[in-house]
């Protein structure tokens, strides 16, 4: 009897490990903590992602083009299935500055979010419209050694994430061939493999199309959802062939190889309340107002008339 009581006491004394966080799509079949109960700052008021209502964005002329350092550096990097997404760690020589940022940031990693359908999958939405996927390139202030150190900082801009919506098209995006072909080698959690050499510029739109972007202050979109992220969401989407997009949900699983298979799809967080926040838009490269051509035509006619007479 005594030993039974001791056993009971010991059992009760064991701390109950909190269930690991997961997306809604995984929580339906696995004991894990879904988005409604995510820990940390996830129930805060400055959360990400958001829907960007373009009618309510404010033009900000300080949102100048970015300078990209080593985004053209071709390197063989490792891709890993981390149980929530596929992630590629990046070398710290890859940096961004300009772009309305107060200082230089260095890259740490990129990952993606997707669905098994083409009309959803992105985290941010623009005027209520989702992309089929979203690419996040995560950077921290240059002075920090790693993400944990950046998260220990007090600012609301310790981390800068560049977000690109990905849309389905009929053309094959050859910049993604390498990455998509690697997915069959990282099907299960903790699998990793070397990618063939590539640069970040292989993945994103041409630099002259990156002048226009939205800017707001928000959070990480995974626990602990720290509200320390300065967000950039580019106007220009990345285009992938629909078959390239669907490969992610077909090939990848959330679980370890030894566990029950659960497709990795819908690994995106729903949009959060904007609250009192303002979303800004850059002003560079905005097309001339429609009025210009209509003013220009009579002027040219007049000049031509003067010249001819
Ligand atoms: Zn992300």
Q: What is the distance in A from the centroid of ligand 1 to the CA of 1?
A: 53
* pTM: predicted TM-score of the whole model, two decimal places: 0.88
Q: What is the distance in A from the centroid of ligand 1 to the CA of 21?
A: 15
3-state secondary structure of 51: strand
pLDDT of 234 strictly over 50: yes
3-state secondary structure of 166: strand
Q: What is the distance in A from the centroid of ligand 1 to the CA of 304?
A: 56
Strands (E), 90-202: 95-98, 105-114, 125-126, 129-130, 133-141, 159-169, 192-194
Distances in whole angstroms, Cα of residue 285 to Cα of each of 102, 152, 164, 230: 22, 37, 18, 22
Q: What is the distance in A from the centroid of ligand 1 to the CA of 219?
A: 10
The predicted pLDDT at position 12 comes to 45
- pLDDT band at residue 2 using 50, 70 and 90 as cut-offs: very low
- pLDDT band at residue 103 using 50, 70 and 90 as cut-offs: very high
First to last CA, the chain: 117
Q: What is the distance in A from the centroid of ligand 1 to the CA of 125?
A: 13
pLDDT of 156 strictly over 70: yes
The predicted pLDDT at position 138 comes to 98
Q: Within the chain, what is the greatest distance between any pair of CA atoms?
A: 117
pLDDT digits (tens, 9 = 90+) for 275-291: 999 999 998 544 444 43
- pLDDT band at residue 304 using 50, 70 and 90 as cut-offs: low
Strands 66-69 and 95-98: antiparallel
Q: What is the distance in A from the centroid of ligand 1 to the CA of 11?
A: 38
Q: What is the distance in A from the centroid of ligand 1 to the CA of 111?
A: 6
Buried residues in 18-47 as b, exposed as e (16+ CB within 10 A): eeebbbebbbeebebbbbeebeebbeeebb
- pLDDT band at residue 303 using 50, 70 and 90 as cut-offs: low
Tokens, residue 104 = 């230089």
Lowest mean pLDDT among 16-30, 238-252, 259-273: 16-30
Q: Which residues surround ligand 1, an ion (CB under 5 A)?
A: 136
The predicted pLDDT at position 3 comes to 52
The predicted pLDDT at position 28 comes to 87
- pLDDT band at residue 302 using 50, 70 and 90 as cut-offs: low
Q: Give the other-Cβ count within 10 Å of 166's Cβ.
A: 24
d(C-alpha 210, C-alpha 65), whole Å: 7
pLDDT of 110 strictly over 70: yes
For residue 36, what are the contacts with CB-CB under 8 A and spacing of at least 6? none
The predicted pLDDT at position 161 comes to 99
d(C-alpha 189, C-alpha 86), whole Å: 9
DSSP state of 17: P
- CA dihedral 233→235→236→237, nearest 10 degrees, is 60
d(C-alpha 137, C-alpha 49), whole Å: 14
Q: Which residues are catalytic?
A: 84
Distances in whole angstroms, Cα of residue 128 to Cα of each of 173, 205, 270, 309: 25, 22, 11, 56
- Residue spans per domain, the chain: 41-285
For residue 95, what are the contacts with CB-CB under 8 A and spacing of at least 6? 68, 69, 70, 104, 105, 106, 107, 139, 142
CA angle 85–139–240, rounded 5-degree value: 50
Q: What is the distance in A from the centroid of ligand 1 to the CA of 245?
A: 16
CB 166 within 8 A of CB 179: no
Class of domain 41-285: alpha beta
How confident is the model over 131-150, as a mean pLDDT?
A: 98
3-state secondary structure of 228: coil
- Dihedral pair phi/psi, residue 212, rounded to 5°: -105, 125
Q: What is the distance in A from the centroid of ligand 1 to the CA of 122?
A: 9
d(C-alpha 75, C-alpha 108), whole Å: 14
């Amino acid at each position: 009897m005594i030993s039974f009581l001791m056993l009971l006491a010991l059992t009760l004394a064991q701390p109950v490990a909190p269930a690991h966080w997961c997306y809604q799509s995984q929580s339906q079949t696995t004991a894990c903590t879904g988005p409604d109960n995510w820990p940390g700052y996830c129930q805060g008021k400055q959360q990400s992602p958001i829907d960007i209502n373009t009618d309510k964005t404010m033009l900000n002329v300080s949102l100048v083009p970015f300078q990209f350092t080593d985004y053209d550096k071709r390197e063989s990097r490792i891709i890993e299935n981390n149980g929530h997404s596929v992630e590629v760690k990046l070398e710290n020589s890859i940096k961004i500055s300009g772009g309305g940022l107060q200082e230089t940031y260095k890259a740490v990693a990129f990952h993606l979010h997707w669905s098994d359908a083409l009309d959803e999958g992105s985290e941010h939405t623009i005027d209520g419209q989702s992309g089929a996927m979203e690419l996040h390139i995560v950077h921290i202030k240059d002075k920090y050694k790693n993400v944990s150190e950046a998260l220990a900082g007090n600012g609301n801009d310790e981390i800068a994430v560049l977000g690109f919506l990905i849309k389905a098209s009929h053309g094959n995006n050859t910049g993604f061939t390498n990455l998509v072909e690697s997915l069959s080698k990282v099907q299960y959690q903790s699998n990793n493999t070397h990618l063939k050499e590539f640069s970040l510029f292989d993945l994103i739109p041409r630099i002259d199309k990156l002048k226009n972007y939205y800017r707001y202050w928000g959070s990480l979109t995974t626990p602990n959802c720290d509200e320390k992220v300065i967000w950039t969401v580019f106007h220009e989407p990345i285009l992938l062939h629909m078959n390239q997009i669907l490969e992610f949900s077909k090939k990848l699983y959330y679980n370890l190889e030894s566990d029950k298979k659960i497709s990795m799809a819908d690994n995106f967080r729903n949009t959060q309340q904007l609250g009192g926040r303002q979303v800004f838009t850059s002003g560079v490269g905005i097309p001339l107002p429609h009025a210009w051509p209509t003013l220009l035509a009579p002027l040219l006619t007049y000049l031509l008339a003067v010249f001819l007479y």
